[in-house]
């Protein structure tokens, strides 16, 4: 049976030593979060994940969700009680506005709790996670009436939220969607259509389910400019806000999937269901993008979270498993065999994972801080530049953290040999669960296109210029440090490749957009390596300082420094291969006719 321990000490090191948490004390919601309080919050949330959510991970996978003939869906045993504990702990509304019952704390803390929770039980975490995304969209775009009617119960977790985008014939291309909205004359709309792949679309954890549904108002323009966003609740709230009439929507079936079995993935049928417009008519995609960007960060965190949980178990197994002898002679001659940790190739697998996890942990915090700054910084310019960076990083985080996170679960499974393939050890579940994160909330190829086609050129490349400037300033600032040199060398080379790749797109993709499409995926991963490498530079600097300041932490800091060196030696060289692939362009791949495939 797998285990999980929330990495609170690592988070605290990153917040305090790497990102200088106290300096954000002037932001709303940050004032009271002293280091002690943050640690207490993370410890408490971590405990819930370790003690309540994690034990339900394997059983939930095995049992799955069940749709009953009446269209209701039951979640696995123990999920109701766990959800009750989760929502009563106030974790769903941790960063939500206080005026609607939230705690108004930093989004950064909510992101950390979500990471722990997704490590412990990814399928479970999707229920509150989608609710948080729905809250974000409603906060940003809905009318005051809708906010008052829906936010308090979503924030308290009495109700949960969903996102309804996909239809059988359209996933990525939302312009094709057919779900219709007919004005009813009283301000509401009658929504009709079928949505698929609706996570948490129906379940037994909450009293009500608030569906956010993309639909086309009668007479609206074709394509993406005719799409509106609606709130369509399972039960229509009455004047007191309690559940009133059952709305005419239902779960038609649930999917049998590779993983996340404990989350119900529903086909949702809307049959003149009563719905309420969020924001402006035909501007639904804008509103949905708020939800999707929040959700994309959440999915990025899932990638890291599964990688972290898989790592912890693989490292523990490697320490305990005796098999073979070290290449340099027995290390534990008194035992029948050495621990498999003596084998360099086992260390390779573990350090591939570990060296990614620590930097990705930092990158999530760095980005989440920018999300906080983008909304809460007193200075408009600072809000803007943080919003720039967050927009730029969102596809990179989503694409890279889920791709590499998945690969890492596969590596962790490999450490277990044959046992990794057997369900009871839990390692194969990490692989199956992590796999979806590469697909949903925009498949990773779409993230790459978003990065190259939209985020990169936006505002004359302002965000990218700022990112490159920040990394180069860091390199310059620390150029004199001999200790940091091994961390900066690879980073420098990586930034160089990233800059040249960006230049290559400018020179070759304007006239031939396929050159951008052909290189977008490699560019996203090249970008990811540089961003992670930059995090390693900052972690290494902080770890060196910490080591001097507090000798008791020397071993913990040395472990970080070793993992960082490993990343620089073994991961950063991949930037060159990405750049080479980008430069090969689109000509060869586009010369295949459809029939040749």
Query: Segment 56-75, which members bind a copy of itself (CB under 8 A)?
Result: none
We find the least distance from the C-beta atom of residue 254 to a copy of itself, in angstroms, to be 11
CB of 594 to a copy of itself, least distance (A): 5
| Closer of 432 and 538 to a copy of itself (Cβ) | 432
Q: Is position 323 an interface residue for a copy of itself (rule: CB under 8 A)?
A: yes
Task: Find out whether 21 and 29 touch, Cβ atoms under 8 Å.
Answer: no
Q: In angstroms, what is the minimal distance from the CB of 28 to a copy of itself?
A: 38
Structural contact between residues 218 and 183, judged by C-beta atoms closer than 8 angstroms: yes
Contact partners, residue 346, CB within 8 Å, separation at least 6: 318, 340, 415
> Residue 28 interacts with a copy of itself (CB under 8 A)?
no
Q: Would you count residue 122 as binding a copy of itself (CB under 8 A)?
A: no
Q: Tell which one of 435, 525, 541, 547 touches a copy of itself (CB under 8 A).
A: 435
- Positions in 554-573 near a copy of itself (CB under 8 A): 555, 558-559, 562-563, 565-566, 569-570, 573
Count of all residues that appear for the chain in the document: 597
* Residue with smaller CB distance to a copy of itself, 209 or 350: 350
Phi first, then psi: what are they for 315, rounded to 5°? -65, -40
CA distance 17 to 152: 36
- Pairing, β 208-217 against β 159-164: parallel
Give the pairing of strands 208-217 and 180-183: parallel
- Binders of a copy of itself among residues 178 to 197 (CB under 8 A) are 196-197
Candidates 32-40, 67-75, 83-91, 446-454; binding stretch for a copy of itself (CB under 8 A): 446-454
The C-alpha atoms of residue 563 and residue 550 are separated, in whole angstroms, by: 20
Among 304, 346, 365, 397, binds a copy of itself (CB under 8 A): 346
Q: Which two tokens stand for residue 437?
A: 């994160």
C-beta atoms surrounding 322 within 10 Å? 13
145 is catalytic: no
Segment 570 to 589, residues that bind a copy of itself, using CB under 8 A? 570, 573-574, 576-577, 580-581, 584, 586, 588-589
Check residue 516 for interaction with a copy of itself (CB under 8 A).
yes
In eight-state DSSP terms, residue 564 is H
Structure tokens at 126: 């999707």
Q: How far apart are CA 83 and CA 66, in angstroms?
A: 17
Please select the residue that binds a copy of itself; options are 70, 186, 240, 595, rule is CB under 8 A.
595
Instruction: Copy the structure tokens of residue 335.
Output: 């035992």
* 214-273 binders of a copy of itself (CB under 8 A): 255-259
Shortest Å distance, C-beta 401 to a copy of itself? 16
The yes or no reply on residue 423 touching a copy of itself (CB under 8 A) is yes
Q: Which residue has tokens 């006719």?
A: 593
Catalytic-labelled residue, pool 441, 470, 477, 489: 441
Residue 473: half-sphere exposure toward Cβ, Cα within 13 Å:
6
Pick the closer one to a copy of itself by CB: 159 or 487: 487
Candidates 413, 478, 502, 546: give the one binding a copy of itself (CB under 8 A): 413
Q: How far is the CB of 215 from a copy of itself (least distance, A)?
A: 17
Asked if residue 327 binds a copy of itself (CB under 8 A), the reply is yes
For residue 136, give both structure tokens.
């974000």
Find residue 254's DSSP bridge partners. 266
CA distance 240 to 123: 33
Return the closest-CA partner of residue 21 out of 105, 94, 92.
105
Considering the complex, state which of residue 122 and residue 142 has its C-beta at the smaller distance from a copy of itself: 122
513 touches a copy of itself by CB under 8 A: yes
Residue from 30, 270, 521, 527 in contact with a copy of itself (CB under 8 A): 521
Residue 552 interacting with a copy of itself (CB under 8 A): no
Q: How far is the CB of 549 from a copy of itself (least distance, A)?
A: 20
Total residues binding a copy of itself (CB under 8 A): 96
Q: Which distant-in-sequence residues (6+ apart) come within 8 Å of 178 by Cβ?
A: 167, 169, 193, 216
Give the span between the Cα atoms of 486 and 225, in whole angstroms. 51
In angstroms, the CA 106 to CA 38 distance is 10
CA separation (Å) from 216 to 141, 348, 472?
18, 52, 47
Should residue 497 be labelled a site residue for a copy of itself when binding is judged by CB under 8 A?
no
Cβ of residue 26: shortest distance to a copy of itself, in angstroms?
37
Among 162, 408, 444, 478, binds a copy of itself (CB under 8 A): 444
Query: Would you name the residues annotated as active-site residues?
Result: 441
């Amino acid at each position: 049976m797998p285990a999980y321990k929330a990495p609170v000490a690592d988070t605290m090191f990153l917040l305090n030593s790497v990102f200088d948490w106290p300096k954000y004390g002037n932001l709303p919601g940050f004032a009271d979060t002293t280091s002690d309080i943050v640690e207490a919050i993370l410890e408490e949330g971590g405990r819930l994940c370790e003690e309540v959510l994690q034990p339900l991970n394997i059983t939930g996978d095995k049992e799955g969700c069940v749709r009953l003939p009446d269209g209701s869906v039951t979640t696995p045993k123990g999920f109701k009680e766990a959800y009750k504990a989760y929502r009563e702990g106030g974790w769903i509304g941790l960063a939500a506005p206080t005026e609607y019952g939230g705690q108004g704390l930093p989004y950064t803390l909510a992101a950390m709790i979500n990471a722990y929770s997704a490590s412990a039980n990814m399928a479970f975490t999707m229920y509150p996670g989608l609710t948080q995304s729905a809250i974000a969209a409603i906060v940003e775009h809905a009318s005051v009436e809708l906010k008052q009617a829906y936010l308090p119960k979503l924030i308290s977790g009495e109700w949960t939220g969903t996102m309804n985008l996909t239809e059988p014939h359209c996933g990525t291309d939302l312009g094709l969607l057919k779900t219709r909205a007919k004005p009813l004359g009283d301000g509401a709309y009658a929504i009709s259509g079928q949505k698929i792949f609706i996570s948490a679309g129906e379940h037994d954890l909450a009293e009500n389910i608030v569906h956010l549904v993309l639909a086309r108002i009668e007479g609206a323009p074709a394509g993406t400019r005719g799409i509106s966003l609606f709130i369509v609740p399972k039960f229509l709230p009455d004047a007191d806000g309690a559940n009133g009439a059952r709305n005419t929507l239902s779960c038609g079936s649930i999917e049998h999937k590779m993983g996340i079995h404990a989350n119900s993935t529903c086909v949702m049928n809307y049959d003149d269901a009563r719905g309420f417009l969020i924001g402006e008519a035909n501007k639904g995609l804008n509103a949905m993008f708020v939800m999707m960007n929040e959700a994309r960060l959440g999915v990025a965190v899932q990638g890291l979270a599964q990688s972290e949980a898989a790592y912890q178990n693989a490292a523990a197994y490697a320490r305990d498993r005796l098999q073979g002898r070290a290449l340099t002679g027995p290390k534990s001659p008194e035992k029948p065999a050495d621990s498999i940790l003596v084998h360099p190739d086992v260390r390779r697998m573990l350090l591939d994972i570990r060296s990614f996890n620590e930097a990705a942990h930092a990158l999530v915090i760095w980005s989440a801080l920018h999300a906080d700054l983008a909304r809460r910084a007193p200075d408009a310019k600072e809000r803007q530049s943080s919003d720039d960076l967050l927009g730029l990083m969102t596809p990179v985080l989503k694409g890279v953290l889920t791709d590499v996170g998945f690969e890492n679960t596969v590596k962790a499974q490999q450490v277990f040999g044959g046992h990794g393939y057997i369900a009871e050890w839990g390692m194969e579940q990490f692989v199956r669960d992590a796999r979806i994160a590469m697909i949903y909330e925009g498949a990773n190829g779409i993230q790459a296109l978003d990065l190259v086609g939209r985020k990169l050129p936006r505002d004359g490349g302002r965000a990218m210029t700022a990112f490159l400037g920040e990394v180069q300033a860091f390199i310059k600032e620390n150029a004199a440090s001999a200790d940091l040199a091994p961390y900066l060398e690879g980073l420098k080379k990586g930034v160089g490749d990233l800059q040249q790749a960006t230049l290559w797109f400018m020179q070759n993709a304007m006239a031939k957009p396929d050159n951008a499409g052909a290189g977008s995926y490699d560019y996203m991963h090249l970008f990811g390596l540089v961003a992670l490498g930059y995090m390693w530079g900052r972690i290494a600097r902080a770890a060196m300082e910490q080591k001097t300041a507090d000798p008791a932490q020397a071993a913990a800091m040395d472990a970080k420094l070793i993992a960082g060196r490993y990343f620089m030696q073994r991961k950063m060289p991949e930037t060159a291969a990405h750049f080479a692939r980008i430069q090969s362009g689109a000509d060869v791949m586009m010369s295949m006719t459809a029939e040749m495939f």
